[in-house]
Chain A
Amino acid sequence: MEKKVTFWAKMSLIFKKEVREKMAQTDELKEQIQQQIKQAETIAALEEIRVAQLGKSGAITQMMKQLGQLSGEERKEQGQILNEFKNEIVACLEAKKEALEQAELEKKLASEKIDVTLPCRPETNQGRIHPVYQAIDEMLTIFAQMGFELAEGPDVEDDWHNFEALNIPPNHPARQMQDSFYFPGGSLLRTHTSGVQIRTMEKQKPPVKIVCPGRAYRVDNDATHTPMFHQIEGLMVDKTTNLANLKTLCLEFMKLFFETDDVSLRFRPSFFPFTEPSFEVDVGGVLANRVGKDWMEVFCCGMVDPAVLENCHIDPKEYQGFAFGLGLDRFAMLKYGIPDLRTFFDGDMRWIKHYGFTPIDVPTLTAGLSGNGGKKC
């Protein structure tokens, strides 16, 4: 028995010595292992190191097991050292693992490269609003804010609404200014949108405050005229409206539509059968300069002729007001920088895509009427 104990004691001593020696060698060992870890190139290689050190029969695991052979103080002391050693190795392994994983991810991502300069899938929503209708929407936005309602009328008109009620009797010289498209029955394609004024006043007693954009037609076909074109007209009739109101309207409208304060207007007396007094309004400043002029005619307007009011059974002694009209196509050309009227009605996809407006470009006064602020070209 004693012999036996002695053996164990002896063994223990020898072992303890080895343990102690080993323990004493931990710094060296640590360096060795760390070097291995550092040199590991793959996660698998790293795993091998881990198993060799920390696996069930790994070197460190074995050392931990042998700790039990020590006693008391020594075990505590050596245990602490060994634990620190182990933790250090674990941290080192983990850091290396993370680095290797990161490298592997980077490698994978690099292999997934695509050519981002390739063109996108074809955009199907490339529709455009025609500049004339963008202009109409812009103008309606302005006029709505001034309280003008949108009114409509037919393209085919009768003599009364297109001429006679507007104080243009048969054979009046003014009719020479308008060569009209007639139907065999005597009706005609409206030569202006003014018939809408009559139709409105026939139905509605003052106050009347309307604008009417639309197609108009004249027998005319050259570089600056098309047989069909667009006009917008306005009418305001009540008990007090006068030329001063008209002046303000023209000025405000021009500033808002062209989105500039650099607007100077000139009222030039003129003649239209349906207004008296009548004026043509010229604009100066940058807008006229755009077309190389000092002044450029933009509006026709005047106080509604008493005969026109009477024709609509409105007493000109009690009511008064103004009417104005302008060429929509020309305004669109000027604002959006479109050089040629004849291209407006061709349906050329290239033209519409170039000069047209995206449908989300809905005019508002708060955001500026058109997305480009009126400087398209």
Chain B
Amino acid sequence: MLASLSWLKRYLKTTATPKEIADKLTAIGLEIEEMTDNASVLKDFIIAEIKTVENHPDSDHLHVLNVWNGTEMLQIVCGAPNVRVGMKSVLAGVGVMIPSFGKRIEKGKIRGVESQGMLCAEDEIGVGTDHTGIMDLNTDLPAGTPLTEFLKTDVLFDVNVLANRPDCFGVKGLARDLVAVGLGDWIEEPAPVVTEHFKFPVSLSVTDPACPQYVARYIKDVQNKESPAWLKELLNSVGQKPISALVDITNYLCIGECRPLHVFDADKITGSLVVRSAKEGEKIKALDDKEYTLSEGMLVIADDKGVQSIAGIMGGIETAVSMDTKNVIIESAYFDPLSIARTARKLNIISDARMRFERGVDPASTVYGCNRATELVCQLCGGQASEKMVVGQEINWQLAIDFDFNEVKRLTGMDVPYDTMIDILQNLGYIVSGGKVHVPSWRIHDTRRPADLVEEIVRIYGLDTLPSAPVRAETLRVATLKPHQKAESIVRRALAGRGLCQAITWSFMDSKLAALFGSKKVALANPIASDLDEMRPSLIPNLLSATKRNQDRGVADVALFEVGPVFFSDVPGEQKLVAGGIRAGQMTPKHWAENTRAVDVFDVKADVEAALSAMGVPLGTVYDKAPEWYHPARSGSFTLGKNCLAVFGEIHPAVLKKFGIKTPTVGFEIYMNNLPAVKSKAPKKLQTSALMPLTRDFAFVMDQEVSAEKVLSAVRSVNKDLITDVSVFDVYQGEKLPEHKKQLAIKVVIQPVEKTLTDSEIEILCTQIVNFVSKNTGAVLRSA
């Protein structure tokens, strides 16, 4: 909302500086986004007089002027058609900043002729919208006088008016708040005076409840013309282009008082007027010169020929007023905000009227608006007014709130004197009587309850006296994370500790790629881009995309993880938290001290183990099963009971191909929701033995299909007291063995508990190991 200081001063008598006004408006909830003081913008412009005019030797439209700036004669090349000798205009000398270009004037040559400055049009210095020629100041002030002595200077406030303050979409509303906050006195305008000469001559009816009240007046024999200077200046001051008196009057009341109006050319209305719902497919060419196709439920004003105005949004071009208009019908109505919002949104029209009606205008301003407009039309354009035509009634807006003034203290902790509270409310237009607060008609859209009145009081009173009070009054209890929250926090740092970098990627992705990852087709109705159209079913695809982006930037070795949601339905809550990661390229890069090694399955298996261990979760059992986006023979899962805790493996080559990734790439996903709850407890007492542990190595030959895990667990189970560690130190398959056979070399650590083991006891244990492994896996001890 743009409001100028000059316009504010039509309603507000104040000596406050623009800065004070801006600060105050911001402080009471009407935030000033920008304040422009055109006195400072215009300070370098001066009045200059054209002394000679000659045609440019090399152009048919440019002129070469001699311009007197009060101290010297300047040669200026000018393209304006209206130059003439003796004309006084606005000079921007060399070095002066032209606001509309954002550039300073430089000395230069235009088609070979030197130009030492620029004469300006209205729009170029931001004081109007005219660009047909340079400004013709028509003044007695001598050349050399600063322009600011001729032009009225003004200050423009750009106010961020929020949805709850429709009244402040009128300059008057802003002025009212400034009065309440003590920045000036209210200037009461006399009520409009209208002389009625004849009955409203057109049949008018309303058939749709979205228009509870429609007020109209016919004025005959008007003469439309250019508006007087005061009106043009006001409109110009907020960047509204003056058009003609009839149009300017409606804009004046719309911007000034938040009272949108419409004026029809009465001679272009055929038959009777009706305010009704549009019929499906009806068309109207609106004032923006665009044709709109309407649908059922859109409120319109129609005559016998058809729709002539989209109610509260935009009038039609066919019945618009022109400079030739002789008779007019003024419309001042109240339209249902929701109806206006729906229609305008569907038609995608943004207009001053729409913006105000959809937020809610003052429901008691219809008759006033009609009268004020009539008065102005008669003053500016002459003519005779009819009686007003009122169809329907004001909505029932009267509201009295039961208000306990202690609410202010209860909700804010502030002590505001009772009398001050009463003054604030009354200055804002509320009437306080007998424990009730009556809400003024222009505030009924947002002030409905005691809490709303508390806001009114504290925002005007100011928050400087807001006391401080701690947020931890009762106990000093520190909040702690629940186990699953702690697990999430730990998994991030565990994975980062493994060398993975934490990424955050979109929750959505390309549906075409999602199909590779067990998509549940959770598609968005209005995606922001066609390749971000489905909720991700897995963390892997977006991490692969990030991997590819990194590799395209020359970062070949990628290690990324993310902890975030994946989705399997559009029902709230049907999502899972996953910690997933990708490793691509080399695990150990080329280095003088190391052999290079590409990433492999055991890197991500280790990531999973490290993460699960860090969270205190048992690792469960590893199976060679993983979802289809992993390599079918190089992937696995960690399973505990029925729950799959995590999957890992090489990413399927076909998937990598889709992403354009050429390096070895492995990944993992830890299903956080499937992890068992871990209670933090003290560890078991440490048992250390004074006896030396001993180790024995075994080499077993077995079928290739036999999993290492099976062999290891067989060994472990032989004697859980004595066998404390089992590890694989070599895997061999090849020429020295029969086909489909492999050999595992296993180291077993035996820790005597109470006494040293005798040779024969050790011998027995080893035999047990060999026999048990053989029995369980079919493996045989390699013959020496």
Across the two chains, which residue of chain B brings its CB closest to A181? B524
Among listed B115-123, B264-272, B363-371, B408-416, interface-contacting one: B408-416
- Known A-B contacts A127-B495, A267-B466, A350-B553; A173 and B528 likewise in contact (beta carbons under 8 Å): no
Q: Does A278 contact B (CB under 8 A)?
A: yes
Decide if A346 touches B502 in the complex (CB within 8 Å): no
5 contacts between A and B (CB under 8 A): A185-B570, A219-B526, A228-B506, A244-B467, A347-B543
| B476-511 interface (Cβ within 8 A of A) | 477-482, 485, 489, 492-508
Q: Does B475 contact A (CB under 8 A)?
A: yes
Give Cα distance in the complex from A269 to B24, angstroms: 11
- Out of A119, A240, A347, name the residue touching B560 (CB < 8 Å): A347
Shortest Cβ gap from A46 to chain B (Å): 41
Q: Does A161 contact B (CB under 8 A)?
A: yes
Give Cα distance in the complex from A348 to B414, angstroms: 50
- Known A-B contacts A124-B587, A268-B27, A320-B411; A276 and B526 likewise in contact (beta carbons under 8 Å): no
Q: Does B593 contact A (CB under 8 A)?
A: yes
Contacts of A320 in B (CB 8 A): 410-411
Contacts of B545 in A (CB 8 A): 347
| A268-316 interface (Cβ within 8 A of B) | 268-271, 276-280, 303, 305-307, 316
Q: Does A78 contact B (CB under 8 A)?
A: no
Give Cα distance in the complex from A157 to B467, angstroms: 37
Q: Which 7 A-B pairs have the closest CB atoms?
A: A347-B546, A269-B29, A244-B413, A277-B455, A127-B496, A269-B459, A347-B503
B702-743 vs A, Cβ < 8 Å mask (1 yes, 0 no): 000000000000000000000000000000000000000000
Decide if A348 touches B550 in the complex (CB within 8 Å): yes
- Known A-B contacts A247-B468, A349-B555; A227 and B455 likewise in contact (beta carbons under 8 Å): no
Decide if B163 touches A271 in the complex (CB within 8 Å): yes
Interface residues on B, range: 35 or more
Q: Does B452 contact A (CB under 8 A)?
A: yes
Decide if B524 touches A244 in the complex (CB within 8 Å): no
Q: Does A147 contact B (CB under 8 A)?
A: yes
Decide if B499 touches A217 in the complex (CB within 8 Å): no
- Out of A129, A270, A279, name the residue touching B502 (CB < 8 Å): A129
Q: Does B338 contact A (CB under 8 A)?
A: yes
Across the two chains, which residue of chain B brings its CB closest to A277? B455
Besides the known contacts A125-B499, A244-B412, A352-B502, 6 further A-B residue pairs in the complex with CB atoms under 8 A apart: A122-B594, A267-B466, A271-B446, A347-B504, A356-B501, A356-B502
Contacts of A32 in B (CB 8 A): none
Give Cα distance in the complex from A177 to B535, angstroms: 24
Q: Does B162 contact A (CB under 8 A)?
A: yes
- Out of A146, A183, A353, name the residue touching B501 (CB < 8 Å): A353
Shortest Cβ gap from B662 to chain A (Å): 17
Decide if A242 touches B560 in the complex (CB within 8 Å): no
Give Cα distance in the complex from A240 to B446, angstroms: 25
- Known A-B contacts A171-B338, A174-B163, A276-B455; A267 and B463 likewise in contact (beta carbons under 8 Å): yes
Give Cα distance in the complex from A187 to B535, angstroms: 13
Q: Does B559 contact A (CB under 8 A)?
A: yes
Contacts of B529 in A (CB 8 A): 221
- Known A-B contacts A121-B591, A122-B591; A146 and B550 likewise in contact (beta carbons under 8 Å): no
Give Cα distance in the complex from A185 to B505, angstroms: 25
Main secondary structure of the interface of A (DSSP, over half): mixed
| B153-169 interface (Cβ within 8 A of A) | 162-165
Decide if B492 touches A133 in the complex (CB within 8 Å): yes
Contacts of A267 in B (CB 8 A): 463, 466
- Out of B414, B503, B525, B589, name the residue touching A352 (CB < 8 Å): B503
Contacts of A148 in B (CB 8 A): 479
Contacts of A50 in B (CB 8 A): none
| A300-339 interface (Cβ within 8 A of B) | 303, 305-307, 316, 320
Q: Does A99 contact B (CB under 8 A)?
A: no
Contacts of A81 in B (CB 8 A): none
- Known A-B contacts A154-B575, A276-B451; A173 and B413 likewise in contact (beta carbons under 8 Å): no
Across the two chains, which residue of chain B brings its CB closest to A344? B504
- Known A-B contacts A247-B466, A277-B458; A147 and B572 likewise in contact (beta carbons under 8 Å): no
Contacts of A278 in B (CB 8 A): 455
| B593-614 interface (Cβ within 8 A of A) | 593-594
Q: Does B16 contact A (CB under 8 A)?
A: no
Decide if A161 touches B504 in the complex (CB within 8 Å): no
Contacts of B335 in A (CB 8 A): none
Q: Does A132 contact B (CB under 8 A)?
A: yes
Give Cα distance in the complex from A189 to B506, angstroms: 12
- Out of A172, A236, A348, A352, name the residue touching B553 (CB < 8 Å): A348
Shortest Cβ gap from B480 to chain A (Å): 7
Decide if A349 touches B558 in the complex (CB within 8 Å): yes
Decide if A244 touches B468 in the complex (CB within 8 Å): yes
Q: Does B229 contact A (CB under 8 A)?
A: no
Decide if A146 touches B567 in the complex (CB within 8 Å): no
- Out of A158, A248, A280, A353, name the residue touching B470 (CB < 8 Å): A248
Decide if B575 touches A347 in the complex (CB within 8 Å): no
Q: Does A16 contact B (CB under 8 A)?
A: no
Shortest Cβ gap from A255 to chain B (Å): 13
Decide if B502 touches A147 in the complex (CB within 8 Å): no
Contacts of B472 in A (CB 8 A): 146-147
| A131-154 interface (Cβ within 8 A of B) | 132-133, 137, 140, 143-150, 152, 154
Decide if A249 touches B341 in the complex (CB within 8 Å): no
Contacts of A271 in B (CB 8 A): 29, 162-165, 446
Give Cα distance in the complex from A280 to B30, angstroms: 11
- Out of B497, B505, B570, B571, name the residue touching A127 (CB < 8 Å): B497
| B567-584 interface (Cβ within 8 A of A) | 567, 569-575
Decide if A118 touches B412 in the complex (CB within 8 Å): no
Decide if B359 touches A173 in the complex (CB within 8 Å): yes
